[in-house]
Each structure stands twice: as structure tokens, then as C-alpha cells.
Amino acid sequence: MKLRGLLPLFGVAAKIVYLTQWRKTMTSPDWDVPSPLSRLGLEDADGIPEGGFGAVAAPAGVGKTALLVQLALHAMLKDEPVLHVSLQDPVQKIGLWYRELFQNLAGHEGLPRAGQVWERILPNRFIMSFQVEGFTVPRLEERISDLTAQNIFHPRLMIVDGLRFQPEIAPTLKDLKRYAEKQGLRVWFTVHVHRRDTDAHGLGPNELNELLGMFAVILKLDTVGDEIKIRVEKGFPGGEAPAALSLDPTSLLLRAS
């Protein structure tokens, strides 16, 4: 077959990719699960642009990690590589979070062939665990470049779990912001809020409020009786969310309330 157009420039290695086939491979053949946050009216999947920050703030044990793992699972189902950086738990434990929530999701929605789908989406996740004192942005950059340089993993969404939001966090966040913008990464953080600060707005203590500008979306988890409610602190385009969301306290799955 004689090659026409630009293809000869690429030599024999070039392959014609037909658009119809391309579409077929790119759209997830498995499950059509809507974004867990779409009910909140956030744009796109999670409402933050490339290079943007999002945060989930709550006291300990309310479900910050569970919420972010669900965002991550959703991204993985769309074949979007997710890098989960944890500063508190070992790799195995985080792996269990994913497995558990995936099984809950599959069971809850009655989705077929869960085992096969899990096998398919697993390569879309990479977990890095750091000791709190050993975590610096240059170190993280070095680790990620280990992965990207060898073409092992190219993250699009990053979850940073367990970073301590204290007033001296500002330089670290600025470094991360610079890196995220350069790489076009979307970054979600968990923010530990003390129970005494739960009524405060923003990220908790007032000293952190100057950092608010860095975040496109801030969600807050509140326990109301037996329920865990999700409140949009910042980022909802219309000011007030059209529907309320909550976390099911037993399965820790998102549901409309």
C-alpha cells in the first residue's frame, strides 16, 4: 500500500489508527459510573482545572480518604492515571482502601465483571508512601520523574493524603502548585481539621485562610447525627449546591441525601 500525506515522514513504524477504533478503545467499555461529585454541580469530573488544587477538610475518622479514593476510582475507570501520595499509611493499607471501596461500589451499583474491571483499572493507580518528616516537594518530584522518565507511570490526578496543614505549610504548597501547573496535574488534598474548628470556614484555623486562594474547590465533611454530610465550602459555580451529598457511614460510599 502506498502511504500518502504525512505518514511517510514517520517511516515504517507509523501505523494508521482509524478514528472509529480509537473511540472504541478510549471510551470505557466497562461501567458508566457518573462522577461522584457531579451531583454537586461541579464542572467536569471534580471541578478543578489542570494545575489546580482541591481539598477535603474534616476531623479525623470522618471519611476524607474514603471520599478521595472514590474520586480516584472514578478517574481510574476513565483510564486516568492517579498517583496517591500518603504521608500516614503504608502502601498495603491504602491498597486495601481502594479494593474495599471498589468492591462496595461494584456491589452497591450491581456492576458486572468486577474482578476483570479491577484488573484492568489497577495499572492506572500508583501509591507512594512517605514518612511525614521525609516528605519534601523536591523528593516527590524526584520520585515522580523516576516513573515518568522510564515511561512507567504518568499521573494526571494526584491525591495527597495526610499533609499537615499548619501555618508553615505555605512554602510546600507553593512548590507543589508550581509543580502541578508545570505538569498539568490536578491535586486533591485531605485537610485534617480539629473538632473544635469544625464550624470555622475554609481550611480550619484562621491562619490558613490566606492559602484559600490556591484552591479551586474545598469540600467539608460534617457529621450530623449518624450521617456524614458534604458541604461545598468553595468552588460551586452557582453559590449553592443543587443537591446535597453524604457519605454512607457503613460503606463510606457517596450517596444523594
Partner 1 sequence: MKNDQQKVRNIGISAHIDSGKTTLTERILYYTDRIHAIHEVKGKDGVGATMDSMELERERGITIASAATYCRWRDHEINIIDTPGHVDFTIEVERSLRVLDGAVLVLCAVGGVQSQSITVDQQMKRYRVPCLAFINKCDRNGASPERVIDQLRSKLGHRAVPLQMPIGLEADFQGVVDLVSMKALYFEGDKGERVVEEAIPAALMEQAKGLREALIDAASLHSDELTEAILEGVDLPEEVLIEAIRRATLARQLTPVLMGSAYKNRGVQPLLDAITRYLPCPADIQNEALDTAHEERPVVLTSKGTDPALALAFKLEDGPYGQLTYIRVYQGVIAKGQTLINARSGRKFKIGRVVRMHSEQMEDIEAIEAGYIGALFGIECASGDTFIAPGLSLTMTSMFVPEPVISLSIMPQDNKSQVGMSKALSRFTKEDPTFKTFVDAETGETIIEGMGELHLDVYVERMRREYGCDVTTGQPRVAYRETITQRADFNYTHKKQTGGAGQFGRIAGYLEPLEDADFEFVNAIVGGAIPTQFIPACEKGFRSCLAKGPRMEFPVTGIRVVIDDGASHAVDSSDMAFQAAARGAFREGYLRARPVIKEPIMKVVVETPTEFQGSVMGLLNQRRGMILGAQDEGPQCVIEAQTPLAEMFGFSTVLRSATQGKAQFTMEFAHYRQVPQGLAEKIAEEMAAKKKRAA
Please identify, using beta-carbon distances, which residue of 108 and 196 lies nearer to partner 1.
108
Note whether 186 and 52 are within 8 A (CB).
Answer: yes
d(CA 199, CA 221): 11
**183 belongs to the binding site for partner 1 (CB under 8 A):** no
**201 belongs to the binding site for partner 1 (CB under 8 A):** no
Segment contacting partner 1 by CB under 8 A, of 74-82, 91-99, 180-188, 234-242: 91-99
**73 belongs to the binding site for partner 1 (CB under 8 A):** no
Please identify, using beta-carbon distances, which residue of 14 and 96 lies nearer to partner 1.
96
Please identify, using beta-carbon distances, which residue of 139 and 164 lies nearer to partner 1.
139
Segment contacting partner 1 by CB under 8 A, of 37-45, 65-73, 125-133, 161-169: 125-133
**250 belongs to the binding site for partner 1 (CB under 8 A):** no
The correct pick among 45, 94, 176, 185 for binding partner 1 (CB under 8 A) is 94
Segment contacting partner 1 by CB under 8 A, of 6-14, 147-155, 160-168, 227-235: 147-155
The correct pick among 4, 13, 150, 250 for binding partner 1 (CB under 8 A) is 150
The correct pick among 1, 16, 149, 256 for binding partner 1 (CB under 8 A) is 149
Closest CB 131 distance from partner 1, rounded Å: 6
**91 belongs to the binding site for partner 1 (CB under 8 A):** yes
DSSP string, the chain: ----TTGGGGGGG-----HHHHHHHHS-SS--PPPTTGGGT-STTTS--TT-EEEEEE-TTSSHHHHHHHHHHHHHHTT--EEEEESSS-HHHHHHHHHHHHHHHHHHHT-S-HHHHHHHHGGGEEEEE--GGG--HHHHHHHHHHHHHTTS---SEEEEES----GGGHHHHHHHHHHHHHHT-EEEEEEE--GGGTTSSTTSSGGGGGGGGGEEEEEEEEEETTEEEEEEEE--TTSS-SS-EEE-TTT--EEE-
Number of residues in contact with partner 1 under rule CB under 8 A: 30
Which residues contact partner 1 by CB under 8 A?
Answer: 84, 90-92, 94-95, 113-116, 119, 122-123, 125-131, 134, 139, 143, 146-147, 149-153
